[in-house]
Structure 1
């Protein structure tokens, strides 16, 4: 038996509370089948395309069969997933006629690239010919692939945390960095720098803004972001929303969470906002400004202190899972 300090350090039990399977080195497996089914269903139901002939959207996901797991072998993560999916799409022409069809995904797996996916899109046999079928086959297939790629990204970025555990040396280094960050924090006054230092890591950050128009009043739109039932409606997932100053929120299976910092009724919401995968303690400061445009509301979202490598992801997420989802759920993007 090797003595302490001798032999392969990966097999030596380090200073951990459980004193077994150090850093999950030997073999650790996590079943993510149920989680995967929920995420796939939620992402596919967001698929919606619009063209000159009308609108097509996935309205039902009838089958998600398969399995998924994450395995850690000798410090390397192995992702396994294999799915067969059946869904239904509905097309609405410009004159209001409805058409129905099917979507079938046969080989979503870790062995196939997204470009190699076998996706079959067709109209139901009893449906008359419609150009909406061509729209769904061309643009709808792209959106389906984006949704499935989003699932894989979620799986790898969000759900793999904790599969490789830190060694005692890693913990010591992290503690030393955090102590140094707290000492430096007293010398820095800006919000972005404080957030970065409090996490123990110096993070390059950026600021960006998004703007969109909603066909509703500022007070109605303002209420949607603070009401738990309404947030659950447009995210299609359970959420925790304490809609008061200092209240906490947790959305999208816990992948997004934060705190409401300042509220001006019907005018402004400011919050600390973060992805769970960001370094501990680091938040972006997100400000929503609601401007009355006479029957419409112009919403400007400004995010400061965003990790520079997360800018595109956060922009896409806010546009798709907040702005577009609110319009689709409550009808604030369609003139009647």
Structure 2
């Protein structure tokens, strides 16, 4: 065995003199907290929301607080953002009389967003809106901010989330390697490419390789339940029972071609094939997935003996990343099936095994 420092230099990873992380092969982490503070300040502060409509004037003021952490990891050009932030934004509000001259009330308020996190990137966060004056005019101003300011804050937070998914302050530092065809001294394409082209032109049997569907995974699971197959089928197709064991809103059609919405609308889809007590085939789409992506869920029910049902799940075309660049979609989806669906059915309905 070679001694430390005496190995083949081709296998020794050294820091370049210029400090460059070539093609982002190694992990590179960028602290984004200060960048996030500046970015959100530009998005949220000193923005006029109402300028006299109904005698009301509302304008955002300062980013009073931004605490937590924000960072971006980059490796081989892959962006992995991470952040957990607590934000407080102040605003000023004023109400004038019907003539728009005399000021009836001038006050201030705050907007608190206690948890902006990468794990909830596809959802609007919790928001708390307060105002210093709790009288009738103050309540009117607060209601106006809720109607006008709340959507504004959500929109700007989504812009921040998108910016982080694209690399935040590290975006401009990413090295992109574009591989161009090598050219010979005469400027023509390299010999292999020319040979391939010529062979194709002469019908020389150049085979096209089938492209594999990259960036997607298939989830397979098998679960046993102490119940009849038809009972388990009914639980999965009944919206009231879904609401019961998931503690979330659900709307489920029991017809082929019918649509469904579960987990408060975060998952939507359509029934493709249904056989009572035997088979459920559905198209599933998560709201956090890139536009246009639809997966297929296939659930088969087998009752090898009375009172025992085996459910086999095949969930195909699950993207490896969501629209924000988070690479935990497959892991989270598999955990959701196990913990939020199958295990909760057992806990609520007592179907052991």
Asked whether the two chains share a fold, i.e. TM above 0.5, the reply is no
Normalising to structure 2: TM-score of the pair?
Answer: 0.43
Normalising to structure 1: TM-score of the pair?
Answer: 0.45
